[in-house]
């Protein structure tokens, strides 16, 4: 479990994060979402101790993160941050083995178990074939998968990921987040820009806006047009597809218009709009209004009316994903 309690942080005296409080329950996947510059990466860096807060605390299970040292920290927390690739002759296999280095004694080499752990992690991310390649020669997406393999090889029980789907093609985005979601013994906080991926693979979401928590709760509670439109400043419509909530976005400063084209026609004629009052009820659920900070001074206000939501009909759509309901 990761507990973030009343975190405040300033860059050069400018308040960047203020009064950030939320909890990632054991084994859950929590998505950190929000517009550019809202403070997502800074918050992640505070959680993994690359930055120190001006106030507040981060606690991993029952221990403040600033009291975790060496192997204990490595056993608790693995991180995939945004980082430049070193231009060195290090291979992919060696890069992933670095995830095992906290467990290697001062004058020991990697053990067979370490090499198996690294190979298994590479296999998990579909990158086993890259093992002998130089890391610096990989494409952006290949590098991203290898960095995730390195974090998996570390076998920590908490995982922090900063935009892990960057550079990945659509299939690997889904495969990777599905893999992360499947790590049921690992508590994960993941920064995501793609809200539809967040909808499908996160148990709960924390929406940042101007350095404050604009909303926190389940996917159904946070991903509503009412909440998202003022934060992102564009019209939002909510639908569902393939068993998960999915969002459609209109251009900024344009009123929301009915969907057009074949898909829209299908959506509007074959399935009725979902009852918005449902959504309102869910929003009133376990996220008290007081948990949501008032809109920050930087919040934009969409001039678009809030659109209703529709279930997109597909003959081959599976029944609603049971994981959606099972908040871990
Ligand atoms: N090293 C730094 N020094 C000063 N200001 C910084 C520094 N790093 C980030 N900031 C500022 O802090 C704010 C939050 O940045 P942060 O990178 O955390 O946002 P983000 O939500 O991750 O953004 P993005 O979605 O664009 O990656 C921004 O205004 C940014 O300009």
Ligand 1 pocket check for 41: Cβ under 6 Å = yes
Distance in angstroms (rounded) separating the CA atoms of residues 259 and 257? 6
Q: Is the pLDDT of residue 310 over 80?
A: no
Residues 207 and 39: beta-carbon distance below 8 Å: no
pLDDT one-digit tens code per residue, 140-163: 888 888 998 999 999 899 999 999
Pocket test for ligand 1, best of 8, 9, 14, 38 (most atoms within 8 A of CB): 38
Cβ neighbours of residue 211 under 8 Å, at least 6 residues apart? 15, 16, 17, 18, 38, 39, 296
Helix (H, G, I), strand (E, B) or coil at 137: helix
Ligand 1 pocket check for 50: Cβ under 6 Å = no
More confident residue, 89 or 7: 7
Ligand 1 pocket check for 38: Cβ under 6 Å = yes
Q: At what angle do helices 170-181 and 140-154 cross, to 10 degrees?
A: 10
Each domain of the chain, given as residue ranges in start order, spans 2-325
Instruction: Using the atom order of ligand 1, give the atom closest to the CA of residue 38.
Output: 21
More confident residue, 30 or 183: 30
Q: Is the pLDDT of residue 308 over 90?
A: no
Q: Is the pLDDT of residue 256 over 70?
A: no
Q: Is the pLDDT of residue 307 over 60?
A: no
Q: Residue 106: what pLDDT?
A: 67
28-42, 51-65, 132-146, 208-222: range with lowest mean pLDDT = 132-146
Distance in angstroms (rounded) separating the CA atoms of residues 150 and 78? 9
Q: What is the mean pLDDT of residues 77-100?
A: 85
Q: Residue 304: what pLDDT?
A: 33
Handedness of CA 63, 68, 71, 76 (dihedral sign): positive
- Please give the CATH number for the structural domain made up of 2-325: 3.40.50.300
Q: Residue 257: what pLDDT?
A: 53
Residues 187 and 2: beta-carbon distance below 8 Å: yes
Q: From the CA of 43, how far away is ligand 1's center (Å)?
A: 10
Ligand 1 pocket check for 42: Cβ under 6 Å = yes
Pocket test for ligand 1, best of 39, 198, 206, 298 (most atoms within 8 A of CB): 39
Share of the chain above pLDDT 90, in %: 55
Residues 28 and 204: beta-carbon distance below 8 Å: yes
DSSP assignment letter at 91: B
Q: From the CA of 193, how far away is ligand 1's center (Å)?
A: 14
Residues 207 and 214: beta-carbon distance below 8 Å: yes
């Amino acid at each position: 479990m990761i507990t973030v309690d009343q975190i405040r942080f300033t860059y050069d005296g400018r308040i960047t994060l203020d009064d950030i409080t939320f909890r990632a329950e054991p084994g859950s996947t929590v998505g950190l979402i929000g517009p550019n510059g809202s403070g997502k990466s800074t918050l992640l860096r505070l959680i993994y101790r690359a930055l120190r807060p001006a106030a507040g605390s981060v606690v991993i299970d029952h221990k403040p993160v600033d009291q975790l040292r060496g192997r204990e920290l490595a056993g608790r927390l693995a991180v995939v941050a945004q980082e430049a690739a070193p231009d060195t002759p290090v291979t992919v296999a060696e890069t992933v083995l670095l995830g095992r280095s906290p467990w290697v004694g001062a004058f020991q080499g990697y053990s067979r178990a370490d090499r198996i752990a690294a190979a298994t992690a590479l296999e998990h991310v579909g990158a086993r074939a890259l093992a002998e390649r130089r890391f610096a020669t990989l494409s952006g997406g290949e590098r991203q998968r290898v960095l995730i393999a390195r974090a998996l090889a570390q076998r920590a029980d908490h995982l922090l990921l900063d935009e892990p789907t960057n550079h990945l093609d659509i299939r690997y985005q889904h495969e990777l987040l599905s893999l992360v979601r499947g790590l049921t013994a690992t508590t994960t906080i993941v920064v995501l820009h793609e809200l539809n991926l967040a909808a499908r693979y996160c148990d709960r979401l924390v929406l940042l806006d101007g350095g404050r928590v604009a909303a926190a709760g389940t996917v159904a509670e946070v991903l509503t047009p009412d909440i998202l439109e003022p934060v992102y400043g564009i019209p939002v419509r909510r639908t569902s597809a393939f068993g998960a909530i999915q969002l459609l976005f209109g251009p900024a400063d344009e009123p929301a218009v009915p969907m057009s084209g074949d898909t829209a026609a299908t959506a509007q004629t074959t399935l009725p709009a979902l009852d918005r009052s449902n959504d309102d009820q869910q929003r009133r659920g376990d996220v008290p209004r007081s948990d949501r900070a008032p809109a920050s001074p930087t919040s934009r206000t969409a001039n678009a009316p809030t659109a209703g939501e529709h279930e997109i009909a597909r003959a081959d759509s599976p029944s609603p994903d049971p994981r959606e309901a099972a908040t871990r």
